């Protein structure tokens, strides 16, 4: 087992964002994590990547208990994550942004630069190597976010809506990139609202609603599960009526 997250909960004050979430991931898997807005998907990633500690539960990665470990420790052990809102250094070049990630494994500047250039080529950003991050459009930003994490050489990659905002053609290109990352031996957990992406990439899907797991299984079965449809439609009906989603 590469990752074992058991009964992971997280509250913000009295609000329970995540309630006893479970996820076991075997090495080599691509697992999809879906659920309506506010279901707790990003909060779960924040806990698994060490960006915030869970309020309760246990997270074991590669045999090491990382429940209370720092984000830096998580990264060093091989957990990488993209952020839903890209954490890019806007004034810096693509190369410098990716080098920030590469310094985790390469302490000599020249080595970090060479590793970053490899990742930049792999992610299709080569022509933009020296361009400032702020000059990128949406597809470039999404790629840079992935490149920055790949440069840390993760064993487990958590993608948080890394394909959101792309056109259908760009989505296909991004799906191909995720497949190439997977083919390099990286295990992937992918959060995505675009169902086509989940159905295409994931072998197994987990559904969150209001912080709890409401379904899991094969993608096709899960999207036809009445409880899952209810979770999505319930939310949409509430929005259509102008009510606040809980
Ligand atoms: N730092 C925080 N402080 C207070 N509440 C938070 C915090 N982070 C998340 N929440 C709340 O926790 C709930 C879950 O948020 P989260 O971002 O995990 O949802 P999500 O499933 O990723 O949603 P989306 O699909 O919109 O990205 C939301 O109601 C959110 O407002
Ligand atoms: Mg989110």
Question: pLDDT digit of tens for each residue in the chain (246 aa)?
Answer: 999 999 999 999 999 999 999 999 999 999 999 999 999 999 999 999 999 999 999 999 999 999 999 999 999 999 999 999 888 999 999 999 999 999 999 999 999 999 999 999 999 999 999 999 999 999 999 999 999 999 999 999 999 999 999 999 999 999 999 999 999 999 999 999 999 999 999 999 999 999 999 999 999 999 899 999 998 877 665 555 554 544
Give domain status of residue 194, yes or no: no
Domain count, the chain: 1
Task: Determine the Cα–Cα distance for residues 21 and 16; give it in Å rounded to an integer.
Answer: 12
How far, in Å, is the centroid of ligand 2 from the Cα of 38? 7
Beta partners for residue 11, in sequence order: 16
Tell me if 139 CB under 6 Å of ligand 1. no
Q: Give the pLDDT confidence score for residue 234 in this predicted structure.
A: 77
Cα angle at 146 between 142 and 149, to 5 degrees?
145
Tell me if 245 CB under 6 Å of ligand 1. no
Give domain status of residue 167, yes or no: no
Contact present, 190 and 33 (Cβ < 8 Å): yes
Q: What is the pTM of this model?
A: 0.93
Going by C-alpha positions, the residue among 97, 147, 91, 86 that lies closest to residue 122 is 147
Cβ contacts of 12 within 8 Å, gap of 6 or more: none
Q: Give the pLDDT confidence score for residue 241 in this predicted structure.
A: 52
How far, in Å, is the centroid of ligand 2 from the Cα of 209? 12
Contact present, 163 and 174 (Cβ < 8 Å): yes
* 17, 33, 164, 235, best to mutate for ligand 1 pocket (most atoms within 8 Å of CB): 17
Tell me if 88 CB under 6 Å of ligand 1. no
Radius of gyration of the chain (CA): 18
Give domain status of residue 126, yes or no: yes
Tell me if 154 CB under 6 Å of ligand 1. no
Give domain status of residue 142, yes or no: yes
SS3 235: helix
Q: Give the pLDDT confidence score for residue 246 in this predicted structure.
A: 46
Give domain status of residue 124, yes or no: yes
Give domain status of residue 2, yes or no: no
Tell me if 234 CB under 6 Å of ligand 1. no
Q: Give the pLDDT confidence score for residue 237 in this predicted structure.
A: 56
Place of tokens 């992971």: 8
Q: Which ligand is nearest to the CA of 37?
A: 1
For residue 132, the 8-state DSSP code is: B
Tell me if 43 CB under 6 Å of ligand 1. yes
Give domain status of residue 102, yes or no: yes
Give domain status of residue 48, yes or no: no
Task: Determine the Cα–Cα distance for residues 147 and 153; give it in Å rounded to an integer.
Answer: 10
Q: Give the pLDDT confidence score for residue 87 in this predicted structure.
A: 80
Nearest atom, ligand 1, residue 45 CA: 18
* Domain region containing 146: 88-153
């Amino acid at each position: 087992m590469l990752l074992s997250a058991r009964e992971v909960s997280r509250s913000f004050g009295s609000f329970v964002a995540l309630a006893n979430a479970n996820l076991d991931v075997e090495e080599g898997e691509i697992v999809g994590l879906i659920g309506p807005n506010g279901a707790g998907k990003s909060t779960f990633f924040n806990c698994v990547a060490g960006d915030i500690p869970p309020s309760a539960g246990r997270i074991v990665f590669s045999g090491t208990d990382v429940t209370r470990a720092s984000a830096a420790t998580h990264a060093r052990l091989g957990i990488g994550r993209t952020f839903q809102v890209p954490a890019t250094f806007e004034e810096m070049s693509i190369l410098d942004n990716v080098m920030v990630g590469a310094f985790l494994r390469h302490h000599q500047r020249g080595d970090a630069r060479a590793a970053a250039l490899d990742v930049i080529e792999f992610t299709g950003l080569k022509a933009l190597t020296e361009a400032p991050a702020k000059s990128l459009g949406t597809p470039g930003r999404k790629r840079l976010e992935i490149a920055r994490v790949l440069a840390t050489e993760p064993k487990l990659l958590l993608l948080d809506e890394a394909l959101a905002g792309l056109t259908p053609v760009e989505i296909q290109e991004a799906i191909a990139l995720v497949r190439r990352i997977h083919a390099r031996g990286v295990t992937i957990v992918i959060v995505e609202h675009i169902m086509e992406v989940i159905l295409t990439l994931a072998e197994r899907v987990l559904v969150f609603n209001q912080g709890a797991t409401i379904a899991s299984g094969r993608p096709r079965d899960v999207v036809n599960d009445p409880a899952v449809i209810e979770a999505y439609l319930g939310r949409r009906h509430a929005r259509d009526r102008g009510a606040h989603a809980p």
